[in-house]
Structure 1
Amino acid sequence: MPVRFIHTSDIHLGKTYRSLGGDAERYQDFFTTFAAIIADAVKEKVDFVLIGGDLFHTGQILPKTFAKTIEILQPLKHAGIPCLAVEGNHDWIHRRDSVSWMEALSQLGYISLLRPSRTGEGGYIFEPFDQEQGAGGHIEVKGVNIYGLGYIGSQAGYHVPRICDAIVTKRNILLFHVGVWTYSPVEIGNIKPEEALPLSECFDYVALGHGHKPYVVSTPDGRPYAFNPGSPDCVNFGEERYDKGYYLVSLESEGRALHEFRRTSPRPMLVVTANLDGAGNSGEALERFRSQMAEKLSGCREERAPLVEVRLAGKVGFHPFELSRDRLRSALCEICDPLHLEIKNHLSQVSGGGGEDKVKKSLAEIERDVLGELIGANSQYQGRVEELTRLSLSLRDLVLKGDVEGEELLSLLDSGGEPCA
């Protein structure tokens, strides 16, 4: 008989904006979206639910986040619908002597956290899931074998043959927090399409996570075998371009997966550019800003206040600092009252000299140059100046933004300076 399930990933429960206003509403957004998915699972009477990693935004969450998660998962448990999950890079904790929140959920019976063990030679062992211990790498539900493997980093492609060598059953699903190059918008934690292809011979359905954009990977003969639903809510600016939702899947007896993408209703997210090129003073620039924002955000007064990122661009005749964030925020709120506003100032200053306009470096360029000189002055960093400069600025931006925990900053260090999705 066909088996029906919901596949979701990258929920990011616990994410919010700190000390910027609207933090409580934004915090609730992700729970509201997740609750709607679970409600659909109960309504559809699916056989199980798959979570492909990053259930939480950080490895160390608030107790109230854990309590709200249990509240949402309770109807699933009451209906007897198994919830099978793996850890993503955001769920993972560096101190392996501590019990993670994902492990706690598994031990309490709200999810089945799938995690394989390893052989001395580096192979994989997917031991049967122990309900009492809340641990194991493989579980069978109605004749379908579900294997789980969380985030294993940028070397995941080398592990694919070892994963396949460990599989001896038929009618299999792999839950794997990894992206596939050319499909995934994430810069790290991906495998090449040719590295992923052997998975199609062992698994009828590879349930992916990690990248927040939905996509489907097919074999050379056109058979879809790997599916990434993306994140059901907009986690970061830039995701407003992606469809948001999850998959309702029917796995036929012969192994064919019929997938339906069901859209969610995330809070509106808008990214707009204000072109202030040629403005001679801050007053003129502010008027241009008001005019352009009135045109571009005229329809943004919706039931749910939007999340807005404004990018300032152009060469201007005054120091960019004169156009303060408070003045810009005040002008924007007259047009559109966003729940959260981020302003990216890419303005550069033009000054006259020798009959010819000269463009001064922007603030971002000056910061990068000074930091690069400081790092390059240390001989042990030779050859890595650009990499370490980018890493330092990324850490600075994340700390100033204020919506990350120490675990996420550590994951950035592990990744070499590229933010993880």
Structure 2
Amino acid sequence: MTIRFLHTADIHLGKTYRTSSGAAERYEDFFHMLEAIVADAVVEQVTFVLISGDLFHTGQILPRTFARTIETLQPLKDAGIPCIAVEGNHDWIHRRDSISWMEALSQMGYIRLLRPSRTESGGYHFDPFDPETGMGGHIEINGLNIYGLGYIGTQAGAHVARICEAVTTRSNLLLFHVGVWNYSPVEIGNMKPEEALPLAEVFDYVALGHGHKPYTIETPEGRSYAFNPGAPECVNFGEEKYDKGYYLVTVESGGYHHQFRRSNPRPMLVMAINLDGAEHAADALERLRCQVNEKLGSTADNRRPLLELRLSGRVAFHPFELGRERLKLILTELCNPLHVEIKNHLSLVTRSGEEEAVAKRSLSEIERDVLRELVSAKSDYKGHEEELVRLSLAIRDQVLKGETDGEELLGLLLREPA
């Protein structure tokens, strides 16, 4: 029997820029993307759909996000196409005494949430999925055994042996929200390639998630066994250079044949603008206009882009003269972006010796030095200065973007060190 399924991951429903005028439109981007994937599944009449974690952008979502998710998944339910999912690090809630939105979707029949139970000795047990409770770790569809576990942190590699020991069936597929070093672009939640390799002996297809960049992993003999489709929509700046899409997989005569289907994310642009040598703000703004126009080029996509602007160079005027609002007005005139993030790394050049050496330092360098001194002032934190400075700046950046709630900020603090 031929089986066909769609494999996607890292949808991030509910993400937006809360302080941006384009927040409502950006919020809809992620639902439109899932709608397109669901529509493709229905047209292709696939046997099932896999979501390898991070369906939601945060564990604590708004009720309207839950309602929109049900609306978006309804065509799958109407077509009788099971949607099988695991939890990612963004889906996970820190208070395990509360039912999660993922569990609610599973109990209502919109997804089949797979989550194994644990034995007293620390092993894994994949109970059969129970539609009544919406719980279980294993589901069988047309002779294919599908197992799932979500995000288990940076020690995932140490769990592989126990995961494999718990599986006694053949024709197996695993959903696993984890990254693999050398392939995944993220810095946490990864395991080493050699740690992942034993999965290839037990599972014919490992459906990965977590890193937003697509990649495929092979055994030393050249057999592809693990697949990460990446995020179909651009979630964070830096992803604009990745291919975006999901997999359509055909299982025939025991072999897996995957086709990468490109999605259509909102345009995301990162522009590095060099203003080195600008004598005054007017000169810098004119150079900014020219460089932005040159980098925009021509595009057939009429959607308002997401834009990150990186200013660099030594200038003869104070960098604060290029304030955020002044720059945003120029950018609105040039390309009317839906959302703008500005990183101002300009440094001031003066004519005097000692003063010049200080003035040449960028604002970001001064900021890091001040934070480092504040952390060092507490003897309990000595030796951890760089780690805490990075964490502080990461929290600062998330708050300034206006897209992060308290739960996700708490997640930054609770994550294991890489």
Structure 2 residue aligned with 1:411: 411
Shift of 1:364: 1.0
> Are the equivalent residues in 2 in contact too, given 1:297–1:335 (CA < 8 A)?
no
> Are the equivalent residues in 1 in contact too, given 2:308–2:340 (CA < 8 A)?
yes
Residues of 2 paired with 1:113 and 1:411: CA distance?
22
Shift of 1:352: 1.5
> Are the equivalent residues in 2 in contact too, given 1:54–1:89 (CA < 8 A)?
yes
> Are the equivalent residues in 2 in contact too, given 1:273–1:310 (CA < 8 A)?
yes
Question: Which one-letter code corresponds to 1:312 in the other structure?
Answer: L
Residues of 2 paired with 1:178 and 1:78: CA distance?
31
Judged with a 3 Å threshold, the aligned counterparts in structure 2 of structure 1 residues 143 and 331 are, in CA distance, closer, same or farther, namely: same
2:302 is equivalent to residue 293 of structure 1:
no
Shift of 1:407: 1.8
1:314-329 correspondence to structure 2 within 5 Å:
314-329=313-328
Shift of 1:294: 1.9
Structure 2 residue aligned with 1:122: 122
Question: Which one-letter code corresponds to 2:83 in the other structure?
Answer: C
Residues of 2 paired with 1:397 and 1:204: CA distance?
41
1:193-342 correspondence to structure 2 within 5 Å:
193-254=193-254, 256-299=255-298, 302-342=301-341
Structure 1 residue aligned with 2:173: 173
Shift of 1:354: 4.2
Structure 2 residue aligned with 1:378: 378
Shift of 1:367: 1.1
TM-score, structure 1 normalization? 0.97
Question: Which one-letter code corresponds to 2:294 in the other structure?
Answer: E
> Are the equivalent residues in 1 in contact too, given 2:153–2:416 (CA < 8 A)?
no
DSSP 3-state at the match of 2:213:
coil
Residues of 2 paired with 1:405 and 1:86: CA distance?
22
Question: Which one-letter code corresponds to 1:291 in the other structure?
Answer: C
Residues of 1 paired with 2:301 and 2:138: CA distance?
45
Residues 355-399 of structure 1 deviation map (CA, whole Å, 9 limit, x = unaligned): 996353211111111111111111110110111111111111111
Shift of 1:416: 5.5
Residues 300-353 of structure 1 deviation map (CA, whole Å, 9 limit, x = unaligned): 584211111111011111221111111111112222111111111111111112
Structure 1 residue aligned with 2:150: 150
Residues 103-155 of structure 1 deviation map (CA, whole Å, 9 limit, x = unaligned): 00000010010000101111000000111000000000010000001000100
Shift of 1:298: 4.1
DSSP 3-state at the match of 1:19:
coil
Question: Which one-letter code corresponds to 1:371 in the other structure?
Answer: L
96-105 vs 388-397, which moves further = 388-397
TM-score, structure 2 normalization? 0.97
Aligned pairs, how many? 417
> Are the equivalent residues in 1 in contact too, given 2:10–2:212 (CA < 8 A)?
yes
Residues of 1 paired with 2:333 and 2:300: CA distance?
11
Residues of 1 paired with 2:190 and 2:314: CA distance?
38
> Are the equivalent residues in 2 in contact too, given 1:394–1:417 (CA < 8 A)?
no
> Are the equivalent residues in 2 in contact too, given 1:390–1:417 (CA < 8 A)?
no
Structure 2 residue aligned with 1:19: 19
Residues of 2 paired with 1:354 and 1:83: CA distance?
66
Judged with a 3 Å threshold, the aligned counterparts in structure 2 of structure 1 residues 261 and 32 are, in CA distance, closer, same or farther, namely: same
Residues of 2 paired with 1:339 and 1:58: CA distance?
22
Question: Which one-letter code corresponds to 1:282 in the other structure?
Answer: A
> Are the equivalent residues in 1 in contact too, given 2:85–2:111 (CA < 8 A)?
yes
Judged with a 3 Å threshold, the aligned counterparts in structure 2 of structure 1 residues 212 and 146 are, in CA distance, closer, same or farther, namely: same
Q: Which runs of 5+ in 2 are unaligned?
A: none
Question: Which one-letter code corresponds to 2:360 in the other structure?
Answer: K
Residues of 1 paired with 2:307 and 2:360: CA distance?
28
DSSP 3-state at the match of 1:115:
coil
DSSP 3-state at the match of 2:46:
coil
Question: Which one-letter code corresponds to 1:118 in the other structure?
Answer: R
Q: Which runs of 5+ in 1 are unaligned?
A: none
Runs of 4+ deviating beyond 3 Å = 354-359
2:88 is equivalent to residue 88 of structure 1:
yes
Structure 2 residue aligned with 1:350: 349
**Cα RMSD (Å) of the superposition?**
1.4
Shift of 1:299: 2.6
> Are the equivalent residues in 1 in contact too, given 2:56–2:91 (CA < 8 A)?
yes
Residues of 2 paired with 1:287 and 1:8: CA distance?
44
> Are the equivalent residues in 2 in contact too, given 1:301–1:337 (CA < 8 A)?
no
Identity level (%)? 69
Shift of 1:281: 1.8
Structure 2 residue aligned with 1:76: 76
Residues of 1 paired with 2:223 and 2:294: CA distance?
45
> Are the equivalent residues in 2 in contact too, given 1:387–1:416 (CA < 8 A)?
no
Residues 215-274 of structure 1 deviation map (CA, whole Å, 9 limit, x = unaligned): 0000001000000000010001111101111000012232x2100001111111111111
Question: Which one-letter code corresponds to 1:269 in the other structure?
Answer: M
Judged with a 3 Å threshold, the aligned counterparts in structure 2 of structure 1 residues 396 and 416 are, in CA distance, closer, same or farther, namely: farther
> Are the equivalent residues in 1 in contact too, given 2:208–2:228 (CA < 8 A)?
yes
DSSP 3-state at the match of 1:246:
strand
Judged with a 3 Å threshold, the aligned counterparts in structure 2 of structure 1 residues 272 and 301 are, in CA distance, closer, same or farther, namely: farther
DSSP 3-state at the match of 1:351:
coil
